[in-house]
Structure 1
Amino acid sequence: MRAKRIVYALNPASGQGLKDDDTVYEEGVELATGATFEELHAATAQALEAPADALIVQGGDGMASMGAEFATKHGVPLGVVPTGTGNDFARSTGIPRGRAARVRAKLIHGLKDGTARFRTVDVLRFTLDGDPHVAVNSINIGFDALVNERANEMRHLRGTTRYLVALLQSVRRFQSERFRYQLDGEPVQEMDAQVLAVLNGRTIGGGIPLGPDARPDDGELDTVIVRGLNRPGLLALFPSALAGLHTLFPQVQTLRGRSIRIESPPGVAIYADGECLRASSTASGSTVEVTIDPRALRLVRAH
């Protein structure tokens, strides 16, 4: 395939921008951007109203999930230039991180001259209180979502450092909450838990391998449940995960399946691919229903 029209969606608030002599200004590439994520989403939707051969997004995991939403809807391949804080989807799928201009040029030139290679990966399709969403890496409920919420306030820090500082701040007043979940239509389970993370990729928080066996193309979702940890244990959870030791904790359980339904109480943060869906200040409970869409997304490889 030789792409004649490529839509390039750029999140100007995430990482490196563009240079005047950049490949994104070449013929056959249409730039979609906006001052806010909402404006960017609308601009990308408008650009894709005309036939396109590919979509490339630049930004973090939230941009990758937006790209997956549009790419699967329009049946076009997706390229990702990771310039976000965590870039966990890129880590899990082998997309090169750093040197954004180089990755961008390889994607665009590969699509144009027909030398681009592709791989297919799974997508998480879910509803939050009935509203449909798409995620590519993770849906985080409970303590890890609260850490994400705190980390988003620390723009001066990046990557895993930012996540670990947020961890220290979050653990002091966090407490377990009562959840209900149902995996693959089996009987409903009820429990007090601290973390429920539904994973397509293996890492969260900029490289913490919370789901070391999760694979983005295996047709299954991995749900990591943490319950019964005291505060020191909760504080040690994610640093231990960095070393691959958290799976030795008896309080850590991983479920595998094709779908899961989770009912969370009020005051529980919910994030997907680093984007806030429910803040910890939310006064009502929520229901999240997740299904895996196997190999629904065709990724352009920048190698």
Structure 2
Amino acid sequence: MQAAPWYLILNGKSAGDDAVRDAVTQVREKGQGLQVRVTWEAGDAERYVREAIAAQAPLLIAGGGDGTLSEVAEAMAYTGQDATRLPALALLPLGTANDFATATAVPTDPLAALQLPAHTPARSIDLLRVEGDGKVHWCANLASGGFGTEVTVETHDGLKKMLGGLAYVITGVAKLGRIEPIQAHIHGEGFDWQGGFIALGIGNGRQAGGGQQLCPEALLDDGQLDLTVVPELSGEVMSTLGTLFSEGKHAALEQVAERARLRELWIEAAQPLTLNLDGEPLQARRFHVQCVAGRVRMHLPAKTPLLRG
């Protein structure tokens, strides 16, 4: 009896990628069944996830950037099924910056990425559960707010296509002269902070927005979220912004940021603020963010630094 095929849920922007087509062909020629489903409009990913589950597919591959990964993971979480009853998850990185893939060392070569699940076991990883607009959203990589979020949201698609991650840097430089701090109260067990911030990172993963390492010590399987709050800065430390956002060095964060590791937190803002959930902007005045341990199983390189041990 032939094993159930894998499912590749491919972002429509990459449907014509010749390297992806060649990689799919090679995987099939080696005997692995692989169904390809291309997303075109909102709701497609969830529909394809349910189709794959009904077909008892052992593996779902998110083909796209961080947003596509989160969209597929969110659809899996929405089923309500335990991680052990869901297909495993994998990533074919095809985004602009591929922040999750970069941090976890998932290969960007399409064939290598598609072959990874055959060589590494699936590991349980956490997801962020974000409640903010009366609805529940899920995030696989990182939720960000403030300066970094504005850069990511405002970077033009055409610029991203031409310049890749450099597009975020260019947009960020353009915004440096007009950073407005966001007033908020952020609290959780053992942590209570209030004031104006210019950048906020809530990490399951470590980086977003083209390499902004706002949560450089986050782990995907520790059952906790990593919080970094960069408060409004005095003139003496404004010079660290270039290092903070372009290289994400630990030293810069230690100088200017408030950091914590929590199972859940609440954010209450004076004005509606935008959280960027892996490219998906969500606006509200109050957010509740939880780290849900082991929500899905994912194939990642054995030596990724984002897994314990």
Shorter-normalised TM range: 0.7 to 0.9
Pairing partner for 1:204 from 205, 208, 218? 208
Q: Normalization by structure 2: what TM-score?
A: 0.81
Residues 59-87 of structure 1 show CA distances to partners (whole Å, capped at 9, x for unaligned) of: 11111112222444452210111111122
Any gaps of 5 or more consecutive residues in structure 2?
303-309
* Aligned counterpart, 2:4: 4
2:263 maps to 1:263: no
Q: 1:248 to 1:300 in 2, by over 3 A?
A: closer
Whether the aligned pair in 2 keeps the contact of 1:218 and 1:294 (CA below 8 Å) is yes
Pairing partner for 1:86 from 89, 97, 120? 97
2:154 maps to 1:133: no
Report the AA paired with residue 90 of structure 1. Answer: A
Whether the aligned pair in 1 keeps the contact of 2:202 and 2:215 (CA below 8 Å) is no
Higher helix proportion (structure 1 or 2): 2
Whether the aligned pair in 1 keeps the contact of 2:200 and 2:228 (CA below 8 Å) is yes
* Aligned counterpart, 2:252: 246
Report the AA paired with residue 273 of structure 1. Answer: D
Q: 1:178 to 1:208 in 2, by over 3 A?
A: closer
* Aligned counterpart, 1:118: 122
* Aligned counterpart, 2:72: 67
Whether the aligned pair in 2 keeps the contact of 1:116 and 1:302 (CA below 8 Å) is yes
Whole-Å separation in 1 of the counterparts to 2:280 and 2:133: 16
Report the AA paired with residue 111 of structure 2. Answer: A
Any gaps of 5 or more consecutive residues in structure 1?
279-284
Moved more, 157-166 or 291-300: 157-166
Whole-Å separation in 2 of the counterparts to 1:255 and 1:40: 33
Whether the aligned pair in 1 keeps the contact of 2:149 and 2:209 (CA below 8 Å) is no
Whether the aligned pair in 2 keeps the contact of 1:168 and 1:235 (CA below 8 Å) is no
Whole-Å separation in 1 of the counterparts to 2:68 and 2:172: 24
2:61 maps to 1:51: no
2:245 maps to 1:215: no
2:175 maps to 1:170: yes
Whole-Å separation in 1 of the counterparts to 2:258 and 2:16: 38
Whether the aligned pair in 2 keeps the contact of 1:199 and 1:211 (CA below 8 Å) is yes
Residues 239-275 of structure 1 show CA distances to partners (whole Å, capped at 9, x for unaligned) of: 46434431242x3111111001112344533211122
Whole-Å separation in 1 of the counterparts to 2:246 and 2:92: 29
* Aligned counterpart, 1:293: 292
Question: Once the two structures are aligned, what percentage of the paired residues are identical?
Answer: 25
Residues 104-140 of structure 1 show CA distances to partners (whole Å, capped at 9, x for unaligned) of: 2443xx2xxxx55222221111112221111111111
| Offset, 1:37 | 4.4
Whole-Å separation in 2 of the counterparts to 1:199 and 1:151: 21
Q: Normalization by structure 1: what TM-score?
A: 0.82
Paired residues, number: 287
Whether the aligned pair in 1 keeps the contact of 2:123 and 2:299 (CA below 8 Å) is yes
SS of 1:247 mapped into structure 2: helix
Whole-Å separation in 1 of the counterparts to 2:102 and 2:3: 26
Q: 1:71 to 1:116 in 2, by over 3 A?
A: farther
Report the AA paired with residue 92 of structure 1. Answer: A
| Offset, 1:145 | 0.6
SS of 2:273 mapped into structure 1: coil
Report the AA paired with residue 200 of structure 1. Answer: N
Report the AA paired with residue 242 of structure 1. Answer: G
2:30 maps to 1:19: no
Report the AA paired with residue 5 of structure 2. Answer: R
Report the AA paired with residue 80 of structure 1. Answer: L
